[in-house]
Amino acid sequence: MQDAFALACRYPDEQNDLLIAKLAKMNNVAPEQILLGDGSSEILKLSAETFTGSNRGNLVSADPTFEAILQHASVTGADVVKIPLTNSFAHDLPRMLTAAKGGLVYICNPNNPTASITPKDELRDFITKTPEQTMILVDEAYFHYADSPEYESVVPLIRDHPNLIVARTFSKIYGMAGLRCGYAVAQKETITKLRSHQSWDSVNVMALVAANASLDDHEQVSNGQRLNREAKSYVVTQLEKIGYHSIPSQANFIMIDVRRPVIPLIQQLKQRDVAVGRLFPALPDHMRVTIGKKSEMETFLNAFRAVTA
């Protein structure tokens, strides 16, 4: 990135194309099947703008899920239909399919904020059954953290499903949340439609070189997975010791059942300089906590013990 300061006076086309070539190879698709975004947030926004609206169709999502796309879809004038997660915190795909009316179905897998997954067989079956005029966006922001045999990426299904889009990000395992880079994988025609709603050159050159460098650092992913697994298992074990359970996590955060309204706890933790996740209204007695370094998690645990004592 320091070397890339010399590139900052130019438009970022060359770095853009380099990153697309690497991502295409990694995902076993053609470069025309990749669209870079200013974070995967931009991919979500473009998907809502392209495929939802009062005359294009509704948005169907889980509840709770990552809310950004709900907001973008409502701005387009689309109906937003929220379908509660199942008892095992998976997406209720049969109900989501029934609710879809053209438009777009948003599936966050692993799901934010519950850190839970939707099993691979159910998701495959859903993708096969969904009519082509309904687009499916699978948000795989937390893909690298899922290690359950019940989980799989749906990128390989794109070949046979023109209505499938997958969103990925450099914000999580690659640790680049402040730099802003994400991408979509889909069939070429879908990428062309998404791009027509996008600003030109929307990803900056610093983010592009950082993403390129991250992909060349072959230990980045495995190190991140190991550090996350160790810190997560430490926190979950410590919480269990004091009687607090969390939803089994397949991500880099946990959702703790705090058995009382979470808002006062969030405020008390904030007074101790510990920032945890916001309220998710569908689960008002749960606290979302991102897994950080082990030392940060010790600080969290001390504060959590104090405010719940």
Does an H or E element contain 290, and which?
strand 286-290
Among residues 33, 52, 153, 171, the one that binds ligand PLP under rule CB under 6 A: 171
CB of 241 to ligand PLP, least distance (A): 28
Binders of ligand PLP in range 226-255 (CB under 6 A): none
Alpha carbons 237 and 227: distance in angstroms, whole number: 16
Give the position of tokens 């060359």: 14
On whether the CB atoms of residues 170 and 147 are closer than 8 A, the answer is no
**Binding track, positions 96-115, relative to ligand PLP; x by CB under 6 A:** ------------x---x---
Tell me how far, at minimum, the Cβ of 146 lies from ligand PLP, in Å: 12
User: CA–CA separation, 306 vs 309, rounded Å?
Assistant: 5
* Residues 1-40 contacting ligand PLP, CB under 6 A: 39-40
User: Which one, 72 or 308, has the nearer CB to ligand PLP?
Assistant: 72
Nearer to ligand PLP by Cβ, of 50 and 112: the residue is: 112
Distance in Å, CB of 91 to ligand PLP, minimum: 13
**DSSP letter at 102?**
B
DSSP H helices, 199-289, are 205-216, 220-241, 262-271
> Closest distance between ligand PLP and the C-beta of residue 118, in Å?
13
Tell me whether strands 135-139 and 164-169 are parallel, antiparallel or unpaired: parallel
Considering the complex, what minimum distance in angstroms separates the CB of residue 46 from ligand PLP? 12
Beta strands in 66-128 (DSSP E): 80-84, 104-108
The answer to whether 41 contacts ligand PLP (rule: CB under 6 A) is yes
CB of 185 to ligand PLP, least distance (A): 14
Tokens, residue 232:
């997560």
Residue 66 binding ligand PLP, by CB under 6 A: yes
Q: Does 75 bind ligand PLP (CB under 6 A)?
A: no
Nearest-5° angle of CA 167, CA 183, CA 121?
Answer: 25
Site size with ligand PLP, rule: CB under 6 A: 12
Q: What is the dihedral of CA 265, 266, 272, 273, to 10 degrees?
A: 170
Of 156, 205, 211, 209, nearest in space to 185 by CA: 156
Q: In the set 12, 119, 182, 277, which binds ligand PLP (CB under 6 A)?
A: 182
Binding flags for ligand PLP, 125-154, as an x/- string (CB under 6 A): --------------x-x-------------
Which residue number has the CB closest to ligand PLP? 39
- Pairwise CA distance, residues 178 & 12, whole Å: 18
CB of 167: closest distance to ligand PLP in angstroms? 7
Catalog residues that contact ligand PLP under the rule CB under 6 A.
39-41, 66, 108, 112, 139, 141, 169, 171, 177, 182
